[in-house]
Amino acid sequence: MNKLSANLILIKTFFIRDMKIFASYKLLLFTTIFGIIMNAILFFYFSKLVDSSPNPYLDGSYYMYVIYGVAATDLSVVIINRLNNEIRDYQLTGVIDSLLSSHHSDLKILILSYPFGIFMALIRFFIYIFLASFISGQNIFDINNLPHLILIISLYIAVIIGIGLMAASLTVLFKRGNPILYIYFFLSSSIGGVFFPPTVFPSYVQYISELMPIKILLDILRDFQTGFQFSNVSEKLMILICYALFFLISGFFLIKLSLRMARMKGQLTNY
C-alpha cells in the first residue's frame, strides 16, 4: 500500500469516527438545523425594518447582505474552533499523549480532525444560503458560477485553517484564554462587513476592514448577486491566495513548535 492510499484510508477512518460521534448526539442535529432556520427567519424580519427606509450605505436588500455575513461567520467559527476544541477534548479526556504517541506524526493526527469539520461547516453554509433564497424569493447566484464559488470558498477555508492552527498552538501551551480567536472574531463581526457595511466607519477603519479575509470573501460572494465577473475579483482572489499561503505556513510552523515545547516542558497532558 502506497503512502497516498494509507493517508486516504486514515482520512476516511477519522471522518467516519467523527461522523459517528456527531450522530450519537441525537438532539445535536435537530438543534443545529433549528438554529439555522431561526437565524434565517429572524434576520429576514429584521431586514424589513432596515429596508423600510432609504439606506445610503446599502445598494440592495439588507437581508441578502446580512445572510452572507452570518453564513460566512458560521463557516469561520466552525472551522477555526475545530482543532482548538479537539485538542481541549483530547487534553480533558487524557488521551492526547497516547494519541500523539502513535506511529503517525503529531501534526497528522491533529489535522485529521478537519475533514468532518469542514464538511459540516459547508453543509451549514449552504443551508443558510439556500434557505435565505427560499425565504426571500431572491435568486442568489447562477449555477454556472458554482466552480468559481467552490474556488473562492476553498481559498477562504485554507485561510481560516491557518488561523485555526495558530490558535490551536496557543491552546496546546496555555489551554484556555485564546486571544487569536477573540481578536479574529471581534474584528470580523465588527469591521468585516458581516452585519453592516464598513463604510459607516472612518476611512482608516475602512482601510483595515479591506485587509480582513472575511471582508474579501463577502465582497466576492455579494458580487454573485450583481452579476459575477471573474475578472472583477481576480485581484481579491490573489490576496486570498497570499493569505492562504501565509496563514497555512505560519499555522503549521506554530503548531509544530508548540507541540515540541509542550513535550519538552511536560505540559502536553496537563489540562
> How far is it, in rounded angstroms, from Cα 54 to Cα 29?
39
Q: State which residues of the chain have pLDDT below 70.
A: 1, 4, 55-57, 90-106, 140-142, 177, 226-228, 265-271
pLDDT of 246: 95
Element (H, E) at 24: helix 3-24
> How far is it, in rounded angstroms, from Cα 72 to Cα 214?
7
Answer for the pair 254, 83: CB distance below 8 angstroms, yes or no: no
pLDDT of 268: 58
DSSP character at residue 225? T
pLDDT of 53: 73
